[in-house]
A and B are shown apart, each in its own frame.
Chain A
Amino acid sequence: MDVILNIWSSMAFDSLYWGNFVMWGIAFLFIYLAIKKDFEPLLLLPIAFGILLVNLPSEIMTPGEGLLWKFYHYGEEWAVIPPLIFLGLGAMTDFGPVIANPKTLLLGAGAQGGVYLTFFGALAAGFTVYEAATIGIIGGADGPTTIFLAAKLAPHMMGVCAVAAYSYMALVPIIQPPIIRVLTTEKERKIRMKSLRKVSKLEKIFFPIITCIIVCLLVPDAAALIGMFCFGNLLKESGVVDRLSNTAQNELMNIAVIFLGISVGATMPAEVFLSPKVIYIFVLGVVAFAGATAIGILLAKVMNLFLKEKINPIIGAAGVSAVPMAARVAHKIGQEADKKNYLLMHAMGPNVAGVIGTAVAAGMFISVLK
């Protein structure tokens, strides 16, 4: 009889409570969305599995000992992994559209308006300044930056904010179009933009170097993210270290994403996730994305008041740096108004500029709040 009791108590069943079952459901839902619906599977699948693992009571997340805790601690709490992902992203990004039309950097800045809108919304909902900033940065539509900021300001929010960010990134094709249509006239949507000029290799080499110097001097707290981003970009554009560039874009990215996903998921045991605050965060997340879209478009329209060569305001929505989803959405909406209007490459300008913008916004939060 004792033997049976001993065996029973060494199993995990005693520690289960209803919350764990709910989280299993959520994990299964994410697995389904990732596999069947192609919802950001690269991140959502590892996150889903992390959620499942942490809700199967064990020592896997025990501080100091657990496997997943070690991934989390060295990767996230020490904010190593998000910058590594930025290294890979930089090596994958072509800044040609930005260099050819540097005004798009302003559109990348404009979309950050959504971040601050959400920041105030979160404060109104009762979150602390640190939590509000982390929720706000969801509007930057950038997973690694959200995780990085959470690690620095509000680690307990990391899992929820990351999941919200990635979920809404996948929903960009649903969230953005109505907003774009409401805020622009048919005539504005038909605006054709002049062909982007060819950008030389030397310009593409200057870009990461100059960006790195300027951003790191102005916003030192963004140095980890922007520094790695520019490093990756230079690896790519130099043309002489293709081995390194390929590794950064592929193997390194994949390794970083695996560790990031599963450890972020592991920050969501039932006790942390199942609180009413989480609903607020998901609502605020929509506000963030919608607001960023709206403000990006409005900024483009304002800029048009001063420009001879008009910007098609649709691409303002691409300042929401879900690359390249937001650019694709902008392109499709443009084609609805005029079949022969090919906005994709023009939209890529604000799209990638937005990555820089979000990292700068995160850096500013850190410099003010820490």
Chain B
Amino acid sequence: MSLPLYTFVAGITGVFLTMILLQVFITLSSKLAIYIESKTTIQEK
């Protein structure tokens, strides 16, 4: 595979893979954050 083509494939794969993983983990962390917050409010009640 030529260098430019390789650069392109690696680049676009890297960008999308990173953003997808980021999306997954951010969604998970939001769920975690919401869970933690709901637990503390229940405790306060």
User: Does B19 contact A129, Cβ atoms closer than 8 Å?
Assistant: no
A129 contact from B7, B10, B22, B33, Cβ within 8 A: B7
* Contact call B3/A129, Cβ cutoff below 8 A: yes
A132 to B21, CA, bound (A): 28
* A214-B15 in contact (CB<8A): no
Q: Chain A interface residue count: which class? A: 35 or more
Per the bound structure, the CA–CA distance linking A200 and B15 in Å amounts to: 27
Contact of A210 among B3, B17, B25 (CB under 8 A): B25
A contact residues vs B (CB 8 Å cutoff)? 98-99, 102-103, 105-106, 108-109, 112-113, 115-116, 119-120, 123, 129, 132-133, 199-200, 202-203, 206-207, 210-211, 214-215, 218-219, 353, 356-357, 360-361, 363-365, 367-369
B8 and A119 form a contact (CB under 8 A): yes
A361–B12 CA distance with the chains assembled, in angstroms: 8
Q: Which residues of B contact A (CB under 8 A)?
A: 3-4, 6-8, 10-12, 14-23, 25-27, 29-30, 32-34, 36-37
Contact indicator B19/A109 (Cβ below 8 Å): yes
Name the CB-closest residue of A to B27: A102
- The listed residue with most A CB atoms (<10 A of its CB), out of B3, B4, B14, B27, is B14
Of all chain A residues, the one with the shortest Cβ separation from B31 is: A203
**B1–chain A nearest beta-carbon distance, Å:** 11
CB distance from B45 to the nearest CB of A (A): 18
> A99: which of B17, B30, B37 is its contact (CB, 8 Å)?
B30
Q: Which 7 A-B pairs have the closest CB atoms?
A: A109-B19, A202-B33, A206-B29, A364-B14, A364-B11, A203-B33, A102-B23
Q: Which residue of B lies closest to A222 (CB)?
A: B18
Please give, as numbers and ranges, the residues of chain B lying within 8 Å of A132 by CB-CB distance.
4
Contacts of B30 in A (CB 8 A): 99, 102, 199, 203, 206
Which of B3, B18, B26, B32 touches A102 (beta carbons < 8 Å)?
A: B26
Q: Is the CB of B15 within 8 A of A206?
A: no
Q: Residue of A at shortest CB range from B28?
A: A210
Q: With a CB–CB cut-off of 8 A, which chain A residues contact B36?
A: 202
Q: Is the CB of B21 within 8 A of A218?
A: yes
Query: B25 and A214: CB pair below 8 A?
Result: yes
